[in-house]
Structure 1
Amino acid sequence: MPNTFDNILIGLVVLTWLMWRQLQPRRADRPPVVLLAISALGAASLGFAIAKTTPTSAAILLLTASFVIAGGFGVARGYTMRTWRAEGTWWRQGNWLTAALWLISFGIHLGLDFAVDAVNSTRGLGSASILLYLAVSLIAQRITVRHRSQDALRKPSNAA
């Protein structure tokens, strides 16, 4: 299992890459390959960390709170993204607010990482959840963008 510094570095690299991708115009209906890969790697990382320690109930509560916060920020980011339809396909693109919410969210997660380590006997449990945290946040964002796109389809157009 990577140590805390390695986990944080990996998380920052993935976050930077995700933010860059989200600021580019992209099809909103793309298969969730990246999301599935980050989810699998994140679940494995956290699973290995849990297998090496017995998390305290406080650590589990903080990890759970972290994932709830990830979902909330994902929904918020989903509403900051511009969505539009071109040539029969839905597109989406984030903006400066999307990026700012990513950074704030990641900062909160890092704070919770250190809190998890403070209440647990083994260091690194909190930072092992970074990729899964990013995945939960992306899932919530993706669902929100899809919901917004479907709502736009259901609304009658103003054209008469």
Structure 2
Amino acid sequence: MFKVIQQQFVPVLIIIYIAFKQLRPKEIKVDSKGKYIILAIGIYDAYIAIANKQLIINYQTVLGLIFTLLILAGGFAFARAYTCQVWQKDGKFYRQGNYVTMILWIIMIISHAITDHIITGLGTTFVLYLGTSLVVQHLVLLNKIKNAN
């Protein structure tokens, strides 16, 4: 029972928290570490899933990982970053998402859930998917700041 809560309920709560957090103004920090910590935890989770044979590496899972991590996570992150308003105040940069940002989060979650059902074991990569998406979005926002100067 606890494993079901951990695998399904906790990630959903994390996504809801992150998604709503993106609707509030937030300072963009160059040295932000949280996203990279989530990515590292996701890599570790994927490693454990492979070691425990929950995620079996074969042609289908490799293609699934490429599709979910590069195309879905990266693509939606790129799009979300461009839906965020970025501005400068008191020498600091801020960002705030909008309803389109929220819709893209929802579509991203649904897309990952669909791929989870198509490819056995891919559900174990959800934190990796989330971390990848957050890091890509952050890098795109940093690029927007760089181009704004």
Shared fold (TM-score greater than 0.5)?
yes
Partner of 1:92: 95
User: Which of residues 67, 70, 79 in structure 1 aligns to 2:69?
Assistant: 67
Partner of 1:7: 7
- Does residue 136 in structure 1 map to residue 122 in structure 2? no
Partner of 1:28: 28
In structure 1, distance between residues paired with 2:74 and 2:122 = 17
SS in 2 for 1:32: coil
Is the Cα contact below 8 Å between 1:4 and 1:127 reproduced in 2?
no
Partner of 1:81: 84
In structure 2, distance between residues paired with 1:39 and 1:136 = 6
Matched to 2:145, the amino acid is S
Is the Cα contact below 8 Å between 1:73 and 1:105 reproduced in 2?
yes
Matched to 2:69, the amino acid is F
In structure 2, distance between residues paired with 1:97 and 1:105 = 12
Q: What is the percentage of aligned positions where both structures have the same residue? A: 26
Cα gap change, 1:60 to 1:4, in 2 (>3 Å): farther
Report the alpha carbon displacement of residue 101 of structure 1 after superposing the two structures with TM.
0.2
SS in 2 for 1:55: coil
5+ residue gaps, structure 1: 118-124, 154-160
User: Which of residues 100, 103, 107 in structure 2 aligns to 1:104?
Assistant: 107
The C-alpha deviation readout for 1:93-152, integer Å capped at 9, x for no partner, is 1111101100101100011111111xxxxxxx2111111101111111111111111111
RMSD, aligned α-carbons: 1.6
- Does residue 113 in structure 1 map to residue 116 in structure 2? yes
Q: Structure 2-normalised TM-score?
A: 0.90
Is the Cα contact below 8 Å between 1:78 and 1:142 reproduced in 2?
yes
Cα gap change, 1:48 to 1:129, in 2 (>3 Å): same
The C-alpha deviation readout for 1:4-46, integer Å capped at 9, x for no partner, is 6632322211101111221111111253232122112211111
SS in 1 for 2:94: strand
Matched to 1:59, the amino acid is T
Q: Structure 1-normalised TM-score?
A: 0.84
Cα gap change, 1:4 to 1:48, in 2 (>3 Å): farther
